[in-house]
């Protein structure tokens, strides 16, 4: 990640913020954060600046193309060429399969699918301006989930959106190969965030995992950074499952 510039969507907290910190430790010098929580964005940006990075932020509604693109371009206008986009923004409501409302379906799709799509389009339009064949032009990493591959009757709408993102990843990889933009995804099982602890499913996950524990966020961030880094020169359209033996795909 030496001297790389990355935009992380959903970067104000959780896995996104952990990924930003890890990128800086691997040499990234400029980080853009996009999130809907303006107050948290400011706090997180200051924490990253304290690590030595130049940081810009944008508050954006990624469910709409206009505002998603505006947020990306606002940061790119300040930081210059963007080498990496990480899509880690998602919502994770739990609801029994027979009780999901139209409003909940619409919100899940708006953030998890449309939001990811809009940010990928914004990144591709920017990155293809910097084609330098045969070198890699840019890298996009989407955070999916093992729920895309495993039955989840308590969270079927979330699982469906993550399966959609896996499909988007593969389609974009094919479309963008000519521009040397590598597009991949990382599919974690649940990991130990404050939200996961609040929902209370970590003990069940640990019991079902071959390793007998849930992952720490940084263990997932390592795979995101790997796929986003200059060490990845060939993988595209791949979905890397990182589940500690919870599921084998």
Under 8 Å between Cβ of 230 and 139: no
Instruction: Tell me if residue 248 is catalytic.
Output: no
Q: What is the pLDDT of residue 134?
A: 67
**pLDDT tens per residue across all 249 residues of the chain:** 999 999 999 999 999 999 999 999 999 999 999 999 999 999 999 999 999 999 999 999 999 999 999 999 999 999 999 999 999 999 988 899 999 999 999 999 999 999 999 999 999 999 999 987 567 899 999 999 999 999 888 889 999 999 999 999 999 999 999 999 999 999 999 888 777 777 777 888 888 899 998 889 999 999 999 999 999 999 999 999 999 998 988
Beta carbons within 8 Å of 76's beta carbon, 6+ residues apart: 7, 32, 82, 126
User: Side by side, which strands form the sheet with 181-188?
Assistant: 54-59, 30-35, 5-9, 84-87, 138-143, 181-188, 239-242
* Residue 32: cis peptide before it, omega within 30 degrees of 0: no
pTM, 2 dp: 0.95
Residue 52, sorted as left (phi over 0), alpha (psi -120 to 50) or beta, turns out to be left
Domains, the chain, ordered by start:
5-242 (3.40.50.720)
Under 8 Å between Cβ of 23 and 1: yes
- Tokens matching residue 29: 């010098």
Closest CA to 223 of 213, 214, 212, 231: 231
Active-site residue identified among 92, 117, 158, 248: 158
- Tokens matching residue 96: 């029994």
């Amino acid at each position: 990640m030496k001297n790389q510039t990355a935009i992380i969507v959903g970067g104000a907290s959780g896995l996104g913020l952990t990924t930003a910190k890890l990128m800086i430790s691997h040499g990234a010098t400029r980080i853009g954060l996009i999130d809907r929580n303006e107050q948290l964005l400011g706090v997180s940006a200051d924490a990253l600046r304290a690590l030595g990075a130049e940081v810009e932020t944008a508050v954006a509604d990624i469910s709409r193309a206009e505002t998603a693109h505006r947020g990306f371009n606002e940061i790119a206008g300040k930081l210059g060429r963007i080498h990496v986009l990480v899509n880690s923004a998602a919502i994770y409501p739990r609801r029994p399969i027979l009780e999901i409302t139209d409003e909940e379906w619409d919100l899940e799709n708006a953030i998890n699918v449309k939001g990811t799509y809009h940010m990928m389009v914004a990144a591709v339009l920017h990155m293809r301006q910097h084609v330098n064949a045969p070198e890699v032009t840019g890298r996009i990493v989407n955070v999916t989930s093992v729920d895309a591959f495993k039955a989840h009757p308590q969270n079927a709408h979330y699982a469906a959106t993550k399966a959609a993102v896996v499909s988007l990843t593969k389609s974009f990889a094919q479309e963008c190969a000519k521009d040397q933009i590598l597009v991949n995804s990382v599919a974690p099982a649940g990991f130990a965030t404050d939200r996961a602890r609040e929902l209370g499913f970590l003990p069940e996950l640990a019991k079902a995992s071959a390793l007998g524990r849930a992952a720490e966020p940084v263990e997932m961030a390592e795979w995101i950074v790997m796929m986003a880094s200059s060490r990845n020169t060939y993988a595209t359209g791949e979905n890397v499952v990182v589940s500690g033996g919870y599921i084998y795909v």
